[in-house]
Structure 1
């Protein structure tokens, strides 16, 4: 009985320690990656503003070929929405809406995740002309984790994972833009 009590108290102490540690871990998640594309800013912006085009370069849109996708509104305009529904655990169910467009400069999105957990985040793409035929594209993500999930995500390396996926998407975008136009 004494051993069982010691084990239980140790487990409770460890759980309490983890919860206390999570209190000090940042809840905000900010990831930003960039790539240089050898195409004029107008061409790049016109391509990336279209939600349907993300199907060919976004890692998340290619994970599950059986994913159901629907679109609402006029693609490439404020208010356009893409919805997805997948049985794949890394994709889940959610939607993305274009919330702001600044021609040849910036697109802001709101991401609404429904499954496997409910959450809202913001994403953006910035296009900057570096010369007449070269564009810097920045893809960013901002979200906030609930306590104590902030610790779980930190331990899982979610920031690095998201960063790698954004960079992979940007590299694919670069290959497509430079190879197909």
Structure 2
């Protein structure tokens, strides 16, 4: 057997094993992170409900500063859409689908490129004291087989990105 044959068999074995493992990994995922910000709930909520503010704290949005962004509607209201196209960011849109003032904003994200998928995001604000607010950022979705294998591996990375973004948010709001 040649070295090339051994490498091809090894590579094929790895791919088959990964596809087999993906059969047993859940297709639904949920990621959630929280932080406490030393500002009143209304101050925090009024900032996070505006999708355009994500360019200051969201690691994902900041990843591609040269992307083209198109807004439709009034930011911070149900139905507002923000679409993007960029070399690093790919293509997609996010839409505000629900708002409970000073409590929760829900957003649907539709990814087009590099792959089609839909995710649901929420930012919840909960007053802890008169001058501090717990912010919880959650993301859920469904990844079809075999992409569910990648999602399982990415949950840690996505969670770390959420933590980083929430820390940026805290720094901005506590200035």
Q: Are 1:147 and 2:145 matched, yes or no? A: yes
Shift of 1:17: 3.5
**In structure 1, what is the Cα distance between the partners aligned to 2:34 and 2:7?**
49
Equivalent position to 2:106, from 82, 105, 108 = 108
**In structure 2, what is the Cα distance between the partners aligned to 1:14 and 1:44?**
47
Decide whether aligned partners of structure 1 residues 47 and 14 sit closer, same or farther in structure 2, where only a CA change above 3 A counts: closer
- The TM-score, its normalising length taken from structure 1, stands at 0.88
Counterpart residue number, 1:78: 78
Counterpart residue number, 1:177: 173
Shift of 1:152: 3.0
**In structure 1, what is the Cα distance between the partners aligned to 2:77 and 2:107?**
11
Counterpart residue number, 1:119: 117
Decide whether aligned partners of structure 1 residues 131 and 68 sit closer, same or farther in structure 2, where only a CA change above 3 A counts: same
Q: 1:56-86 deviations in whole A, cap 9, x for unaligned?
A: 1111111111111111111100000111111
Counterpart residue number, 1:92: 90
**Can you give the 5+ residue segments of structure 1 that lack an aligned partner in the other structure?**
none
**In structure 2, what is the Cα distance between the partners aligned to 1:99 and 1:29?**
20
Decide whether aligned partners of structure 1 residues 127 and 20 sit closer, same or farther in structure 2, where only a CA change above 3 A counts: same
Please provide the CA RMSD for this pair. 2.1
Decide whether aligned partners of structure 1 residues 8 and 45 sit closer, same or farther in structure 2, where only a CA change above 3 A counts: closer
Runs of 4+ that moved beyond 4 A: 4-15
**Can you give the 5+ residue segments of structure 2 that lack an aligned partner in the other structure?**
none
Q: Are 1:27 and 2:27 matched, yes or no? A: yes
Q: Are 1:42 and 2:38 matched, yes or no? A: no
Total equivalences in the alignment: 175
Counterpart residue number, 1:130: 128
Decide whether aligned partners of structure 1 residues 79 and 5 sit closer, same or farther in structure 2, where only a CA change above 3 A counts: same
